[in-house]
Amino acid sequence: MASLRKFTKRFVILLNILISLLFLITCCNAFLHPDKWWFISLLAFFFPIFLLILLCFLFLWLFISPRWSLISLISLIIGWQNIHAFFGMNPGRKDFYHKHENAIRIMTWNVRRWDEFITKKTGASGHRPRMLDMVDKQQADLLCFQEFYEPDDSSFSNIRYIRDKLHFPYYFFSRDYHNRIAKYTTGLIIFSRYPILRNERQTFGQDTSGSTESLIDADIDVNGKRIRIFTVHLQSVLFKPKDFRDVEIIRNAEDSLLQASRSLAKKLKFALSLRGYQADTVRRHLDASPYPVIICGDFNDVPNSYTYFHIRGNRQDAFIASSFGIGRTYIHISPTLRIDYILPDKSFNILQCSKIVSPFSDHHPVLADLQLQDSKR
């Protein structure tokens, strides 16, 4: 019996060391480019699991043999930057019904083409009116939409509706893809209640999938002060219904697990590599701005990734700075996927930020109140 306890203890210690190493390797994603280190980048999706197991080991050893808790404790301390990027620790109450008079309220949302194609497939009447009504209720000053859908048919224009009915007189639309057969255009768009002084669109030369939208920015005159807002939609994994079935196969450990894992890994490798290069492009344009910057959008990557850390740089994460929890914004695959962000630089004070739970798109919108500091940049 004593030898069995000794063996069990050694096994648990070795397992603790192994999980600690995997956790620390995952934390290296902040500076490892996914084109060369794609497998390590893939581990970022397992960061919440490694973190949870390490916490369990920590509390287990505290009750059994406290000295061995140092394995987990030291790992958690080293990985604190990643933990803090993953989990918001500001439980204060949010009040978006009352807006500070000097606040700039920004909303970012991947609207999935206003859910038009999903609801048509299921025979539903369409969610677009309710989605637009929800946007109106947020009292935002700036709207950044990804997968924005604009029909060629002049009988109904999303742009015209938001401009005239929701009172956003200024906008810049990237018009990334035009479907001549179905007669519609999609892309990124920035709407503003403040005047737009300048705008620009950058494409990603590495995109070979025909799915990535561009990087756009607009200079906004906010009561005489000029800020530059960027929005982006980075490379998606392009999961199809078969891929979601593969996820279920892996979860249930079915016989075809190996084949399903290979299929998903191939798609993830492709997307991770492209997002790495796209993140490099985004960062160059952010750093070149002479004005206070806000970058927001659908990064299609988690907070423990090269994409997130490289784009963020020394900027702030509005959710982490003012909210509590994981802040999941993508509704499929895992309950831990926060892939939509608002990242202002340090010229802004972050008053509050929250995701808005929405039943319409496959993404939840993110809303933030920011305040431009008086100090000159």
Is residue 291 within 8 A of residue 227, CB to CB? The reply is yes
For residues 243-261, give the mean pLDDT: 45
Which is more confident, 326 or 243?
Answer: 326
* Predicted model pTM: 0.88
> How many of the other CB atoms lie within 10 Å of CB of 205?
9
Least confident window among 227-236, 257-266, 294-303, 356-365: 257-266
Residue pLDDT, tens place only, 32-90: 999 888 888 888 989 999 999 999 999 999 988 889 999 999 999 999 999 999 999 98
- Range 83-107 average pLDDT: 89
Sign (positive or negative) of CA dihedral 336, 339, 342, 346: positive
Residue pair 271/302 in contact by the 8 Å Cβ criterion:
no
The answer, yes or no, to whether residue 206 has pLDDT greater than 70, is: no
List the beta bridge partners of residue 325.
88
Biggest CA–CA distance in the chain, Å, is 81
Confidence of residue 222 (pLDDT cuts 50, 70, 90): very high
- Among 3-17, 157-171, 176-190, 358-372, whose mean pLDDT is lowest? 3-17
pLDDT given for residue 9 in this prediction: 82
pLDDT tens-place string over residues 265-300: 777 788 888 999 999 999 999 999 999 999 999 999
What is the per-residue pLDDT for 1? 65
pLDDT for res 261: 54
Does residue 245 register a pLDDT over 60? no
Write down all domains in the chain, each with its CATH number in brackets: 2-86 (no CATH), 104-372 (3.60.10.10)
Least trusted range by pLDDT, from 55-64, 141-150, 208-217? 208-217
Q: Are strands 142-151 and 104-110 parallel, antiparallel or unpaired?
A: parallel
Q: Is 116 strand, coil or helix?
A: helix
Query: What is the sign, positive or negative, of the torsion defined by CA atoms of 98, 101, 102, 107?
Result: positive
Kindly state the helix (H) or strand (E) to which residue 146 belongs, with its residue range.
strand 142-151
Q: Is the pLDDT of residue 126 over 50?
A: yes
Q: Which CA distances in Å does 112 have to 68, 140, 149, 371?
A: 48, 20, 8, 29
Q: Strand, coil or helix: what is 355?
A: strand
Is the pLDDT at 210 greater than 60, yes or no? no
Q: Which two tokens stand for residue 201?
A: 């669109």
Please give the average per-residue pLDDT across 144-165, as a whole number: 90
Collect all residues with Cβ–Cβ distance below 8 Å to 128 and sequence separation of at least 6: 114, 115, 116, 158
User: Mean pLDDT across the chain, nearest whole number?
Assistant: 86
User: Which stretch, 173-182, 227-236, 258-267, has highest mean pLDDT?
Assistant: 227-236
Please report the sign of the dihedral spanned by the C-alpha atoms of residue 159, residue 160, residue 166, residue 169: positive
Chain segment 6-29, per-residue pLDDT in tens: 778 889 899 999 999 999 999 999
- Could you identify the residue written with the tokens 């000295």? 67
Q: How far is CA 304 from CA 18, 40, 81, 172, 376, in A?
A: 19, 11, 9, 31, 32
Residue percentage of the chain with pLDDT more than 90 = 61
In this predicted structure, what is the pLDDT of residue 251?
46
Mean pLDDT along residues 133-152? 94
Tens of pLDDT, residue by residue over 291-323, are 999 999 999 999 999 999 999 999 999 999 999
CA angle 257, 363, 127 (to 5 degrees): 115
The type of residue at 158 is N
